[in-house]
A = this chain, B = another copy of it.
Amino acid sequence: MYVVVMSSTALHEPTFLILAALAEGRKHGYGLIAEAEALSDGRVTLRVATLYTALDRLRKEGLIAPAGEEVIDGRLRRYYELTDEGAATLTQEITRMEQLAARATIRLQHRPGFAFGWAGGAWA
């Protein structure tokens, strides 16, 4: 009998951005930094310390896997790719975010004094 392990703990933003950046295909460390910055409209700059510790952690968890090494212009690139489990985790995280965002939006619209989008929004 199998037991499905539900981690259920929400991903932190840097971790989410790494998985999302890898969804398109394999990338190396510095490529991930650029992709995460693009994904967040320049809001988030992945720090190298965050990146490499996260890559190591995610690899141990089986969400990503090494996908070859190349030397470009004399510099080593270590590539990573999403595993099927990583893609599943990302999908689950997306669902969580969408659902929470939708529910929070509804509650905000029920907020006492909510202005309904126009100035001085009283019913009369």
A residues sitting closer than 8 Å to B (CB atoms) are 8-10, 12-13, 16-17, 19-21, 23-25, 39-41, 43-44, 82, 87, 90-91, 93-94, 96-101, 103-105, 107-108, 110-112
Contact = CB atoms under 8 A, between A and B. Distances in A.
A87 B108 contact: yes
A29 B76 CA distance: 52
Contact of A100 (B8, B16, B100): B16
A107 B23 contact: yes
A22 to B, nearest CB: 9
A111 B97 contact: no
A109 to B, nearest CB: 9
A88 B23 CA distance: 31
A43 B99 CA distance: 12
10 contacts: A9-B13, A16-B100, A17-B100, A23-B108, A39-B100, A90-B104, A93-B104, A94-B104, A94-B108, A97-B100
B13 A10 contact: yes
A16 B107 contact: no
B8 A10 contact: no
B87 A20 contact: no
